[in-house]
Structure formats: C-alpha cells, structure tokens
C-alpha cells in the first residue's frame, strides 16, 4: 500500500475513535437533557392542576354567595306569606319560593360536584409532587454520574487527540488538509477503499481505467463522484 495512504488510514482510525467518543459524550448529555425536560413537564402539570383548582374554587365561592342570597330571598318571601291576603298572591309567592329552593338545590349539587373534582385534582397534584420529588433526587444523582462519566470519556479523548497529533505529523500538510476537509463534508470519511471497482464512500462504480491503475496499489485517486481519497487494498487469501 502507498505509504501516504497507510498513514492516512491510521489517522482515520484514530479519528473514528474520537468521533465515537464525541457521540458517547453527546448521548450522555442528551439522556440528561431528556430527563430535565421530563421534570419540567411534571412541573407544568402541577401548575396546570393548581390553576384548575383555583378556577373551581372561585366558581364554588360564587355559587355559595348566590346560594346565601337565594336563601335570604326565600326567607323574605316566606315572611311575606303571612301578610298576603288573596289566594292568587299566595300562589305566586309559593311558586317563587319553590323556584328559589329549586335553584338553591341545583347550585348545592354543583358545589358538591366541584368539591369532588377538587378532591380528585388535589390527589393528582399530590401524586405528581411526590413523583417530582423522587425524580428531582434521581436527576441530581444522574447529573453527578454523567459528570463523572463525561470526565472519564474526555480523558480517553485527550489520549486519542495526542495520538492524532503525532499521527498527523507523519503526513504532508496538503494531503492532511484535503483529508480534514473531506471528513468535514463527507460524513467523517475522507479516505476510502475501492472494492470490485466500487468506491466504498459513495458506492459508485469508478471508471475501469482508474480502477486498473488503483489495482497496482501504489497510487491513490480522488473518487470522481464523492471526491474522497480512494485506495485499493489487495484482499489477503
Ligand atoms: Zn466515492
């Protein structure tokens, strides 16, 4: 194999290790971020439930004021009953009293329904608060663990970066720059094998003439499709 290619493939192996380390760090961080988001959602749920209770309680207070007013009204009508003379007036008053009582009963039923709903929501809040507490503690623990994990992974990364630095020195600046640019724009793959006339970077067939030259093993070319640096490695029998 061409010496330059040999050194480049070593470099790329190191780069892939560094890439893997980077994605490990990212994964750890993402998992933590997801848990934080879940916790924030839980907090929002508690807030929403609390607001619902506040609305219901307001409704209940309004109903209670209305009930009290109607009760006063009923009492007034009842005392007026003593004073009325005609049967017609009496009937009218009685109807008014009956209607008011009916109204009071309906409102009292509404109050009961509200109180039941509030009780149910309060229990829901309690449950969410308990979960929130547990999850917060877990997250704190997780954060510590992730911090430690990232520190350990970063240590590994530094070792690989040193290795890379040493390896990069073995290459001419020009080809190194080309390789770095390719890696940036070609999904982390700058140098690729050609197998059976097919570039293993973009999986396009390369012109036969170029392939024949590659088969000699002492040269490398740029893939006409993806521009990656191609090389041929004889298959060991
Ligand atoms: Zn290609």
The pLDDT tens digits for 17-76 are: 999 999 999 999 999 999 999 999 999 999 999 999 999 999 999 999 999 999 999 999
Measured between alpha carbons, how far is 56 from 203 in angstroms, rounded to an integer? 65
187 located within any domain: yes
The reported pLDDT for the residue numbered 82 is 87
Range of the domain at 20: 16-169
Q: Is the pLDDT of residue 237 over 60?
A: no
Spacing, Cα 140 to ligand 1 middle (Å): 47
| CA 149 to ligand 1 center in whole angstroms | 37
Integer Cα distance of 5 and 170 in angstroms: 11
Q: How far is the CA of 233 from the centre of ligand 1 (A)?
A: 16
* 87 lies in the same domain as 163: yes
Asked whether residue 11 is assigned to any structural domain, the reply reads no
Does any domain span residue 202?
A: yes
Do residues 109 and 124 share a domain?
Answer: yes
176 closest CA partner among 1, 3, 2, 7: 7
The pLDDT, as a whole number, for residue 189 is 96
DSSP 175: H
Ligand 1 centroid to 191 CA: how many Å? 10
- Pick the closest to residue 22 from 181, 145, 160 (CA basis): 160
Number of domains in the chain: 2
Question: Do 228 and 189 meet the contact criterion of CB atoms below 8 Å apart?
Answer: yes
Q: Which residue has the tokens 């009760």?
A: 71
* Predicted TM-score of the model (pTM): 0.76
| C-alpha of residue 220 to centroid of ligand 1, in Å | 13
User: Are 64 and 144 contained in the same domain?
Assistant: yes
For residue 33, report the distance from its CA to the centre of ligand 1, in Å. 37
* Same domain (yes/no): 121, 87: yes
129 and 200 in a single domain? The answer is: no
Ion ligand 1 residues within 5 Å by Cβ: 199, 201-202, 223, 225-226
């Amino acid at each position: 194999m061409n010496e330059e290619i040999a050194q480049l493939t070593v470099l790329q192996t190191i780069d892939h290790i560094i890439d893997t380390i980077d994605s490990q760090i990212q994964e750890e961080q993402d998992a933590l971020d997801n848990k934080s988001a879940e916790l924030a959602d839980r907090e929002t749920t508690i807030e929403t439930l609390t607001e619902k209770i506040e609305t219901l309680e307001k409704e209940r207070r309004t109903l209670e004021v209305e009930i009290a007013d109607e009760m006063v009204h009923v009492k007034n009508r009842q005392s007026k009953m003593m004073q009325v003379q005609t049967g017609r007036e009496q009937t009218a008053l009685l109807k008014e009293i009956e209607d008011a009582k009916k109204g009071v009963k309906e409102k009292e039923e509404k109050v009961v329904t509200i109180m039941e709903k509030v009780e149910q929501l309060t229990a829901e809040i309690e449950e969410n608060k308990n979960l929130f507490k547990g999850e917060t503690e877990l997250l704190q623990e997780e954060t510590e663990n992730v911090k430690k994990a990232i520190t350990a992974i970063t240590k590994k990364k530094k070792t690989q970066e040193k290795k890379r630095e040493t390896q990069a020195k073995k290459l001419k600046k020009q080809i190194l720059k080309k390789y770095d640019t390719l890696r940036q724009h070609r999904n982390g793959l700058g140098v690729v094998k050609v197998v059976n006339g097919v570039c293993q970077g973009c999986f396009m067939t390369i012109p036969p003439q170029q392939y024949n030259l590659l088969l000699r093993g002492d040269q490398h070319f740029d893939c006409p499709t993806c521009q990656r640096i191609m090389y041929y490695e004889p298959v060991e029998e």
